Amino acid sequence: MVFDRNEQKAVVALLGAGSMGTAIVRRIAAGKKILLGDISEKALARVSEDFRHSGYDVETMVVNALKKDSVQAFAKKAAELGPVMYFIDTAGASPNQANPEHIIDLDMVGTGYAVDAFGEVMAQGGAGLIISSQAAYMYPIPNDIETQLLQIPTEGLKDIAFIKEVAMKNSGLAYMIAKRMNHLQAQRAAATSWRNRCARINTISPGVIVTPLAYDEFNAHSEGYQRMIDASAARRTGTSDEIAEAAAFLLSEHAKFITGTDLLIDGGVIAAIRTGEYQIG
C-alpha cells in the first residue's frame, strides 16, 4: 500500500538518532521526508522502524560525525532526496562518556563539519538547529578568544592555543567550551554560508533533561545534579518533549526573523548560578 503519493517533499535531516532529536522530528516531519543519520546501525533500525510504524516517510544512513567526508556524504544524500528545509544536529558526547579530545572532536569539530556541510545544501527558507547545552554558559570564554574562534575554519579549531591548553585539561572543560563554540558556529553560519542560501540556523541549550544517555551523568554525579535541580526555579528536570516544543517554533515560519541566536531552556539553573543561589562543584 502506498501511504503517500506526494513527490519532491521537504527533507528533514537529523544527525544523532537519540530521544531528543527524534522528539523534535516528530513535531515537524509529518508529510515530509526524514533522513536519519547516526553511527549506530542498531539505533537507526530501531528509530526508523518506530517512525515508519507511526506513518512517517524515513530513510537512514550510517554517519560518523567525527569524519568530514562522512558528514558531507550525509548532507549530499539529504539534498538528493529533495529540498532540505530542516537540519537538526544532536550528535555529541557528555563529560562522563568521553575524554576531552573525543568531546572536542565530536561536539565542536564534528558539529562544525555538519554546519559547514549543510550550509552548502540548505534550501531557501530552510532552518537548522544545533542542540548545545546549558554548560555553554558555565565557562566564560574571553571575548578576544571568541573572536579568534569565530574566524578560524573548522579544520583549524584544534590548533588554537586556547583549545589545546584549556579545553583539553578535563572532560568538563572540554564540554563547556565545545558547547559554547556551538553558539559561535551558529552565529558565524547565520552571517555567512547559511545567510548566502537564505537559510536560518540557531541553537538550543537544554538544562537537565532526562534521556537514556543522561543517566550516565546522573549516575556519576547524582549529588551535584540533585543540588542543581533543587536550586532551579522549576525544581524539576526537563523532558525531550519540552525541548521539541521550543525547537519546533525555532524551525517554523513563525521564527523567520530569528537566526544566529541561542535559546536557553534550563528551568532556571543558569539564573541560580549567576545569582549565587547555586555554586558549581
- The answer for 27, left when phi > 0, alpha when psi is -120 to 50, beta otherwise, is alpha
Active site residue 179: yes
CB contact at 8 A, 71 and 49: no
The grid coordinates listed for 24 are 523534535
Q: What phi and psi, each to the nearest 5 degrees, are found at residue 174?
A: -55, -40
Give the amino acid at 267: G
Specify the residue for cell string 547516526: 38
CB contact at 8 A, 171 and 60: no
Q: What phi and psi, each to the nearest 5 degrees, are found at residue 188?
A: -60, -45
Active site residue 175: yes
CB contact at 8 A, 278 and 269: yes
Catalytic residue among 86, 113, 175, 278: 175
Catalytic residue among 33, 68, 77, 179: 179
Q: Which residues are catalytic?
A: 175, 179
